[in-house]
Amino acid sequence: MMRAPGFWQGSGGGLLPLLLSPLAALYAGTTARRMRRPGWRAPVPVICCGNATAGGAGKTTVALDIGRRLANRGIAVHFLLRGYGGSLRGPLRVDPAAHDSTEVGDEALLLAAERPAWISADRAAGARAAVAAGAQAIVMDDGLQNPTLEKDLSLLVVDGSYGFGNGHVIPAGPLREPVRAAAARSRAAVMIGADETRAGALLPPGLPVLRAALKPGPEAELLAGQPVFAFCGIANPPKFFSTLTEAGVVLAGREAFADHYPFDEGDMRDLLAEAEALRAIPVTTRKDYVRIPPAFRSRVTVVTVRLEWAEPAQIEALLEPLAQRIPVPA
């Protein structure tokens, strides 16, 4: 796993993005041609939580929230994702008791802990398997740039603290495709956190923007006032660190790794030794926890996060027409 280049952030200027612009144009053109292919239309609603940038933007957290909202209506929800970071291609139903992150990826384990989750490099094949297993609705974690499966509702998830980086397409920047192309296939954008980079100004004026925030779980309250040593390997480590400090946790030390970093025993011994030297409690994210060797997990505290919508009625209104299509037993 590698870190995103530093020049992917910022205002978009500089020599490297300019030099890489021909390759970026080729990348964007390839994506556009791929997206013109027709996909399979599933007999159940398909909801996609995607983004325009490489790396995390909060898609998994949004997918979990939507899964809960549909399940609260009595709908059998199944999750579908590629299984980034895992070796298996699927279609495969994830079993947290039998699979680990090296096989199915960390997001798949988080989703499967709540509801049935499928990994599949071929999303259409994964959707067929989910439907055959009884799925009444499919929630995709990522896949906005995958054309093999038609979506009934696509949400463009934006990390307010990162936005769209320098605004350029890979490799000149972090965008998988131009913002306007991703927005054109989305019913709404979900802005997580304050829009610190004015990313909202790059969205089409008619696209609804739903506001949400990440809030720490109950573990943070128990840690309030205590010194902790925080470590994580996620797309935006500062977001995790600021979530802890905003909850009143004393950050005695911190260490950031590349997104999806595979912690080994040597890493954990070093991290735990550093926490001990600081007389601090070692803490990490739920996503990182599943990538820690099992022998070390009991010594690490997990701080979860949840999604808090500014106006929950907005997301419910988007889900309502899809939910009405699904017959729910009385």
- Annotated binding-site residue? 56: yes
Tell whether 57 is in a known binding site.
yes
The verdict on whether residue 55 carries a ligand-binding annotation is: yes
Spatial contact of 144 and 179, defined as CB atoms under 8 Å apart: no
Helix (H, G, I), strand (E, B) or coil at 60: helix
DSSP 163-198: TTTTS-BTTTSSBSS-HHHHHHT-SEEEEES--TT-
DSSP state of 169: B
Residue whose pair of structure tokens reads 């260490």 in the numeric block: 255
3 phi/psi in degrees, rounded to 5:
-80, 150
For residue 172, CA distances in Å to 7, 73, 124, 195, 202 come to: 8, 44, 30, 22, 18
Angstrom distance (rounded) from CA 35 to CA 146: 7
**What one-letter code names the amino acid at 314?**
Q
CA atoms within 13 A on the CB side of 88: 21
- Tokens 């060797």 -> residue: 293
Does residue 295 have a known ligand-binding role?
no
Length of the chain: 330
Query: ∠ at Cα 68 (291, 45), nearest 5°?
Result: 105
Torsional class of 31: left (φ above 0), alpha (ψ -120 to 50), beta (otherwise):
alpha
Which residue ranges make up the annotated binding site for ATP?
53-60
Which residue ranges make up the annotated binding site?
53-60
